[in-house]
Amino acid sequence: MATHSSPNFLSIKEKSSARRARRIVAAFLIFSAVLTSAYTALSLYIATQLVYAPQQPLYATPAFFGMQFHRITFPSREDHVQLRGWFIPGVLPGGHLTAQRTIIMVHGDRTNRADQGAGLLKLSVAFAQHGFAVLAFDMRGAGESPPAPLSLGYFEQRDVLGAADFLRSGQLPYPELGRPRVIAGWGVSLGAVTLLLAAAKEPAIRALVSDSGYPDFASILEREVPKRGHLIALTLPPICLCWPRPPALLPTRMCRPGLCQVLIMPSRSILRDSNMLLA
């Protein structure tokens, strides 16, 4: 004789299955939320480590090489960050000082205007000894200038533009020398990129040397990210979103190498000004 389950027994069994399914879904949602939070927190931490670095002290001044110089402070263009630097007058063969031809020196990432590794201070002194005045300064977040996140040249270009403004209309030391007739620039690494971006916007910068710059930020990602390990590559998409002021800096669809579309493209800046002397 066949037996049939009672309706009450079926109802209890169905309710038990429904509760079990709800618990599984709830556990999955909690696990997903925890995993997402941990992933985001890790990305934020790595992004912070990438864009904030200890500011390196200056190892020497031009006086170490027997050169006259004056400490200066001037604002960046637009956001008025107070930047610190040196103005070193050029020395003519007869010993007279000059500021007629002035070179803006722009240092690289995680260093300063004295950059011993790139020999920037020695180079600045050599220029001055050969009759070129030099404005050497610390970009935001470097040396003696105020702390700031690294933006790979996007905001740092305002610092170079501020240096050009200072030479054209600021209160220069050695006022008896007058203002420069010719302004040029020398940039290394990140400084080279920053200088290219700034010079495309500032016609007063008539010549520049770009030493070890990069044509665009995407190429740097493609080359450097694999060298930094799987953790950096894994967290790269949210890192791009966490970078300082992402809408302005990285308007990306996706930040993985090969898919970046960014505003930091010095190669395009070069094409905008065919009258600039570039080396």
Q: Around 13, how many Cα atoms within 13 Å sit in the side-chain half-sphere?
A: 6
pLDDT in the model for residue 199: 93
Q: What is the pLDDT of residues 211-266, one digit of tens each?
A: 988 776 666 666 655 655 555 555 555 445 444 444 333 433 333 333 333 445 55
Name the one residue in this structure whose structure tokens are 């905008």: 272
68 token code pair: 């006259």
Reading the block at residue 119, the tokens are 């020999």
- Say if residue 54 is exposed, middle or buried (CB neighbours under 10 Å; 0-12, 13-18, 19+): exposed
Picking from 14-23, 51-60, 257-266, which range would have the lowest pLDDT averaged per residue? 257-266
The answer to whether 152 touches 118, Cβ cutoff 8 Å, is no
pLDDT tens-digit readout, 143-190 = 999 999 888 888 999 999 999 999 999 999 999 999 999 999 999 999
265 vs 218: CA distance, rounded Å: 9
CA angle 46, 47, 53 (to 5 degrees): 90
User: What pTM value is reported for the model?
Assistant: 0.74
